[in-house]
């Protein structure tokens, strides 16, 4: 990209905050401290309520996107990381479509992309903040007054700006994992799972005093009920609060995802001009990582949000009802789709519910598998992970596959046998895991557990690699000394 194409953005880029890449490698101990600091700030912001809110009663209209955006209703993290995700995807799509002619090896182009992503994220944060306030999410605007409305918008802008800086800190190489967005999504999902599993507090319900957390509810029911068989059934199958069956399903899905994360094909490679040595280029089953489920969740969440918003305002309109009908159900008081397109695109919450309406189950499974597979194969083309892009990268690094000629065409031919297949099957596998997780009733949601496990697995790999590079492989706790 030429300098003339960047000139219009240069004045704005000059005033944007920037975390510079460290000139010397950051010590592993310092990376752990930076990461812990970032997690602490995120958790505090997730618990601090927005000042000026007058009404947060009723179901959460953004319930469907909380796991995806790492957001928390009514707090400083009400918007979450959605502006960063959206801006990053927009810039990625523009780059993949060659609308933005970016050279990743050019520092000026990289700085332009980072700056454009930040500016777009700030704009999206501002628009979302105004939309949330105007829609009455925090209370009637006429009752709150102009000053309070502007104050809420300012708080959301500040929190979005701070999250952007923390993500920049992680991406610059000061933290573990290299992505603040992934870290926040993982922490948010893990927090939800942990709290629903081990929440020790009690609530008053029509059934009496009950413990919210599934684990402690198990022992509470066993010790307080005379009929132990009935207590066990209640602990494993209570429908209105987290139960032990959901906790067990979550653990099963956790280990299945960990197993599938390790499935890969190792292709032997040779460095140009070097003899001996054994190196491989791995192509994982989850070649596109969590991107298919993120994109699929973003698509369905937007459909649900628009459908619910339209139904709340124009519920008597027949076309709105075809788009989706909603009713407040017993699932934590949230509104659930009961008819229309939104109903058939939503997941059954149990195998019994799926069997009772097989048409819905077939439509839902077909939709998820098709969308995840299609998005996975499309994403490799626009994200620089296609066989051609990888072949160019390997050729530029002086690497080619063993037993093949040292040419881009030959390297691309080998990669064409594996990458599209891995992307498609990986997308289908992600879709199947999402479907199974939702039907088994995992704690949180199928999307949330997949994001949590996948991202945590990546962080563990990064942690092991950082330890090896820092010389802690023999003594993993040496960095604390």
For the cut 50, the answer to whether the pLDDT of residue 479 exceeds it is no
Q: What pLDDT was estimated at residue 480? A: 38
For the cut 80, the answer to whether the pLDDT of residue 307 exceeds it is yes
- Identify any residues that bridge with 269 across adjacent strands, giving them in sequence order: 279, 401
For the cut 80, the answer to whether the pLDDT of residue 300 exceeds it is yes
- List pLDDT tens digits, range 110-155: 777 788 888 888 999 998 899 888 877 888 888 888 899 999 999 9
- List pLDDT tens digits, range 95-111: 766 677 766 556 777 77
- List pLDDT tens digits, range 235-256: 888 877 888 988 898 888 888 8
User: pLDDT category, 158, cuts 50, 70, 90?
Assistant: very high
- List pLDDT tens digits, range 3-39: 445 566 666 766 777 777 888 878 878 888 888 999 9
- List pLDDT tens digits, range 189-199: 888 888 888 88
Tokens of 283: 């192509």
Q: Among 22-31, 273-282, 354-363, 395-404, which is the least confidently predicted range?
A: 273-282
User: pLDDT category, 405, cuts 50, 70, 90?
Assistant: confident
Q: Among 80-94, 201-215, 322-336, which is the least confidently predicted range?
A: 322-336
User: pLDDT category, 42, cuts 50, 70, 90?
Assistant: very high
Angle ∠(241,193,214) on CA atoms, nearest 5: 35
Looking at residues 354-363, what average pLDDT do you find? 88
Percent of the residues in the chain that have a pLDDT greater than 90, as a whole number: 8
Q: Which residue has the higher pLDDT, 473 or 380?
A: 380
Residue 247: closest CA among 281, 280, 214, 204? 214
Neighbours of 408 (CB within 10 A): 14
CATH topology of domain 248-442: Preprotein translocase SecY subunit (1.10.3370)
- Identify any residues that bridge with 337 across adjacent strands, giving them in sequence order: 326
- Identify any residues that bridge with 75 across adjacent strands, giving them in sequence order: 49
- The owner of tokens 């500016």 is 119
For the cut 70, the answer to whether the pLDDT of residue 365 exceeds it is yes
The structural domains of the chain, with segments of one domain joined by +, span 1-199, 202-241, 248-442
Q: Which residue has the higher pLDDT, 477 or 329?
A: 329
- Whole-number average pLDDT of the chain: 81
Distances (CA, A) of 219 to 208, 214, 231, 408: 16, 9, 9, 62
For the cut 80, the answer to whether the pLDDT of residue 376 exceeds it is yes
Q: Which residues contact 444 (CB under 8 A, 6 or more apart)?
A: 67, 189, 192, 193, 196, 250, 452
- List pLDDT tens digits, range 206-216: 677 788 888 98
Strands 399-401 and 335-339 turn out to be unpaired
The DSSP result for 342-401, as a single string, is: HHHHSPPSSHHHHHH-HHHHHHHHHHHHHHHHHHHHHHHHHTT-SHHHHHHHHHHTTEEE
Q: What pLDDT was estimated at residue 114? A: 80
Q: What pLDDT was estimated at residue 273? A: 66
**Angstrom distance (rounded) from CA 207 to CA 296:** 38
Looking at residues 409-419, what average pLDDT do you find? 88
User: pLDDT category, 477, cuts 50, 70, 90?
Assistant: very low
Q: What pLDDT was estimated at residue 119? A: 87
Q: What pLDDT was estimated at residue 276? A: 57
Tokens of 106: 């050019």
**Angstrom distance (rounded) from CA 370 to CA 376:** 10
Looking at residues 410-435, what average pLDDT do you find? 88
Same fold, 1-199 and 248-442: yes
- List pLDDT tens digits, range 43-83: 999 989 998 887 666 667 777 777 778 888 889 999 888 88
Query: Which of these CATH numbers, 3.40.50.300, 3.40.190.10, 3.40.50.720, 1.10.3370.10, describes 1-199?
Result: 1.10.3370.10
User: pLDDT category, 41, cuts 50, 70, 90?
Assistant: very high
For the cut 70, the answer to whether the pLDDT of residue 332 exceeds it is no
């Amino acid at each position: 990209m030429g300098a003339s194409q960047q000139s219009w953005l240069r004045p704005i880029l000059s005033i944007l905050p920037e975390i510079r890449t460290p000139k010397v490698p950051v010590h592993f101990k310092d990376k752990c401290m930076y990461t812990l600091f970032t997690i602490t700030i995120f958790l505090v912001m997730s618990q601090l309520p927005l000042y000026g809110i007058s009404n947060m009663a009723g179901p959460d209209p953004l319930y469907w996107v909380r796991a995806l955006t790492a957001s928390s209703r009514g707090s400083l993290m009400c918007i979450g990381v959605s502006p960063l995700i959206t801006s990053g995807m927009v810039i990625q799509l523009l780059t993949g479509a060659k609308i933005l002619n970016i050279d990743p090896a050019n520092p000026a182009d990289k700085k332009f992309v980072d700056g454009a992503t930040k500016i777009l994220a700030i704009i999206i944060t501002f628009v979302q903040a105004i939309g949330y306030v105007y829609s009455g999410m925090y209370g009637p605007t006429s009752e709150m007054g102009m000053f309070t409305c502007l104050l809420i918008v300012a708080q959301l802008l500040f929190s979005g700006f701070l999250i952007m800086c923390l993500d920049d800190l992680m991406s610059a190489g000061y933290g573990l994992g290299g992505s603040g967005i992934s870290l926040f999504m993982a922490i948010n999902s893990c927090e939800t799972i942990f709290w629903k599993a081990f929440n020790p507090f009690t609530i008053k319900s029509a059934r009496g005093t009950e413990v919210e957390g599934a684990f402690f509810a198990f022992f509470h029911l066993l010790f307080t009920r005379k009929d132990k068989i009935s207590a066990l059934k209640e602990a494993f199958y209570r429908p209105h609060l987290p139960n032990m069956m959901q906790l067990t399903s979550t653990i099963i899905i956790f280990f299945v995802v960990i197993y599938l994360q390790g499935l890969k094909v190792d292709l032997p490679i040779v460095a140009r001009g070097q003899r001996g040595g054994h190196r491989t280029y791995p192509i994982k089953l989850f070649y596109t990582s969590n991107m298919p489920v993120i994109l699929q969740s973003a698509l369905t969440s937007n459909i649900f949000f628009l459908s619910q918003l339209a139904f709340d305002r124009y519920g008597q309109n027949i076309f709105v009802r075809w788009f989706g009908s909603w009713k407040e159900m017993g699932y934590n008081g949230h509104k659930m789709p009961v008819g229309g397109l939104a109903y058939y695109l939503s997941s059954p919450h149990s195998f019994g519910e799926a069997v009772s309406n097989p048409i819905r189950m077939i439509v839902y499974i077909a939709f998820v598998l098709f969308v995840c597979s299609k998005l996975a194969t499309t994403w490799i083309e626009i994200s620089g992970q296609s066989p051609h892009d990888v072949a160019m990268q390997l050729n530029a690094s002086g690497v080619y596959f063993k037993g093949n000629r040292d040419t881009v065409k030959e390297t691309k031919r080998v990669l064409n046998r594996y990458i599209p297949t891995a992307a498609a099957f990986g997308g289908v596998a992600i879709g199947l895991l999402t479907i199974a997780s939702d039907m088994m009733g995992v704690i949180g949601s199928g999307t949330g557990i997949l994001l949590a496990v996948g991202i945590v697995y990546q962080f563990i790999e990064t942690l092991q690699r950082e330890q090896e590079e820092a010389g802690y492989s023999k003594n993993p706790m040496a960095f604390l000394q």
